[in-house]
Structure 1
Amino acid sequence: MRDDFADLARRLLHENGYSMKAAARATNYDPAYLSRVLSGKQGPSLKLAEALDDLLGTGGALADTLLDPDDDSRVSRSVENPSRLDAGTVDALAGLLAAYRRLDDTAQPKSIIPATLVQMKEVTRLLKGARGPHRDQLAAVASEFVQFGGWMLAQDRQDTRAIKLLNSAVELADEIRDGTLAAQALNFKGYLARQQGRPEGVARWYAAAAFTPGAHPAQRLGDMLQAAAGMAELGERDDALRMVENAERLTDAAAALPPPETAYWLTPEFNRLNMGLANLGLGRYADAVDHITAGLEGLPPELQSAPWTWEHRDALKRALAAR
């Protein structure tokens, strides 16, 4: 864990324009101590991690990538003897994943990818030897970690590696019959197809996500809207309109339930962004502007500048220009 923290902290400091000496001055820490931490030679204190969080504006997520001593020992024991996996280890790894996902809301993918993939490999390695009543819970964490790794690589346009991980995430989700996890991995394949400019893939993968058994209504709603955008781009306007109508029928059901933990961002406000993309594809530019604007304004403050919002801001510019 120490080396992963050091890698994350170094990359995030560089991303934000801080040298090691400048970071030491800004946090009031001895440069020699900070140098040892950032080189992985010495473990960070929680206070240092929190000071770096404040400096980098990562909202506590960087500090949360550190396991407390009890959890660190528990995870180490499970790694040494996977057949004796316990619930505490699964909870600790789920918390670690949550911290990495929160970093994705504030930092560039390039800064997070290396440590993410290291952690992902550790979790999947543990899963291979895991036995007992907690294995399925670990498989869920592993599936989510793998799909998160795929999502990060997709954002960085490492397409081949991203697809490989997303396919693996679907297989892990199917193994434990978790429809929300499977649908989310398919959703990320649709996202990647959109970055590649392949409307066929956009329509295919978002539609597959929408009709995955066990998908949450909020997932299905958002996936139908994004599939509609792909269909519209292909000139299949009638099919796109029908897909939008089907999505609109899910609005109340989606709003009545909290989003799934695996897709915590799928609020009604977020799905306004997806409605905006559908309307943009259909040439309804004024409606696209209204929905995307409302969706961006409805995001929590900590997500307003998340790197993944850039795609929607670009869509808003195109809608405004065409309106």
Structure 2
Amino acid sequence: MRDDFPDLARRALRDAGYSTKAAAREMHYDPAYLSRVLNGKQRPSENLAHALDSLVGAGGALAGTLLSDDDRKRVARSAENPSRLDAGTVDALAGVLAAYRRLDDSVQPRTIIPATTAQMREVTRLLRAARGRHRDRLADVASEWVQFAGWLSAQVCAFGEGLRLLDEAVELADETGNGTLAAQALNFKGYIARQQGRPRGIARWFGAAATTPGAHPAQRIGDYLQAAGGLAEMGEAGAALRLVEDAEKLMDAAAGLPPPETAYWLTPDFNRMNMGICTLALGRYSEAADHLRAGLAGLPAELRDAPWTWEHKAALRRAVAAA
């Protein structure tokens, strides 16, 4: 697996407004050493990785993208002999992916797209040659990598590439019958339709996500609400309200369940924001503002300024202005 820590760290420092010299001075490190790390000529110490992470406010996600020496060797062995893929390799790849997803909560999407795309290609290349009892789990990890790359493309309005990747992610999820991952990829297609202002696409893709076999109840709640928003924009208020009722019926079932690991953000507060998007489309502006305000306030502190919250903050401003 590629070591993209230098690229990620360099881009994150740039976005945070630090030159190499300024970052070294702030962290009390030798600028020459930091320069070698950022240019991929020297592997960072664990202390430096965490210092960089703290400097850019990544909450541990940047440091988490760096594989340990043992994991690097394990992944390299699997890459050389995919027929002997082991559980440790899959664990290492999944761990790095989890760090990338958390990094998306604190840095600009463009910062991590190049590294994400490169890592995705490495994992899917390994999957094509992999054999044995760990292959299905690797297929799930690959599906999530591809889905994540599609999500990042959607965030920077590269919609064609995003849709292509999300279709590929659905196919990979279907290989192993992973309804959670398939539903999330379809959800992201609904997100793209909303960014494009296509209410029929909103209703179609969120509706498909909500009815995907194996989808988590928390996913289905959010998907029903967002599909309802699409129907409301089409003037189908009655049909929209029926989907809201479907979502509300699932809330008790979801209340005692943690969100899926691959969609850790799907908390009740997050779905308050989905309810806000829905009620805004229904023209219930005060209600929408209340849901959006409560949902945003209920997010963990490390998520409140995530780039993906901007859509909800803009919706709150529209709701307040129209109320």
**TM range, normalised to the smaller chain?**
over 0.9
Q: Deviations over 1:200-241 (max 9, x none)?
A: 111110000000011111101100000000110011111111
Would you say the 8 A contact 2:120–2:146 is kept in 1? Answer: yes
Match of 1:315 in 2: 315
Q: CA deviation digits over 1:282-317, x for unaligned, max 9? A: 001111011111100110111011110000000000
User: Any gaps of 5 or more consecutive residues in structure 2?
Assistant: none
What is the number of residues matched between the two proteins? 323
* Aligned residues of 1:2 and 1:43 also touching (Cα < 8 A): no
Deviation at residue 41 of structure 1 after TM alignment: 1.3
Deviations 1:76-113 (A, max 9, x none): 00001111000000000000000000100000001011
Map of 1:89 onto structure 2: 89
Q: Superposition RMSD on alpha carbons, in Å?
A: 0.9
**CA-to-aligned-CA distance 1:159-180 (integer Å, 9 cap, x gap):** 1111111000000000100000
Q: Which amino acid aligns with 1:20?
A: T
Contact preservation (8 Å) 1:255, 1:267: no
* Matched letter for residue 135 of structure 1: R
What's the counterpart of residue 55 of structure 2? 55
1:3 shift after superposition: 4.8
**Partner of 1:249: helix, strand, or coil?**
helix
For structure 1, the residue ranges without an aligned partner over 5 or more in a row are none
Shift of 1:152: 0.7
Letter matched to residue 189 of structure 2: K
Matches for 1:1-323 after TM superposition, within 5 Å? 3-323=3-323
Q: In 2, Cα distance between the equivalents of 1:255 and 1:188? A: 23
The separation in 1 between residues aligned to 2:241 and 2:135, in whole angstroms, is 43
TM-score after normalising by structure 1 = 0.99
State the alpha-carbon separation in 2 of the partners of residues 224 and 310 from structure 1. Answer: 21
Q: Which amino acid aligns with 1:147?
A: Q
1:36 shift after superposition? 1.0
Three-state SS of the structure 1 residue aligned to 2:4 is helix
Deviant stretches of 4+, over 3 Å? none
Contact 1:2-1:44 at 8 Å conserved across structures:
no
Distance 2:3 2:174 in 1: 33
TM-score using structure 2 length: 0.99
Partner secondary structure for residue 66 of structure 1: coil
The CA distance in 1 between the partners of 2:211 and 2:229, in whole Å, is: 16
Identity of matched residues, %: 71
Q: CA deviation at 1:2?
A: 6.8
Question: What CA distance in whole angstroms lies between the structure 1 residues aligned with 2:60 and 2:178?
Answer: 29
Tell me by how many angstroms 1:60 deviates.
Answer: 1.0
Task: Read off the aligned partner of 1:303 and give its amino acid letter.
Answer: L
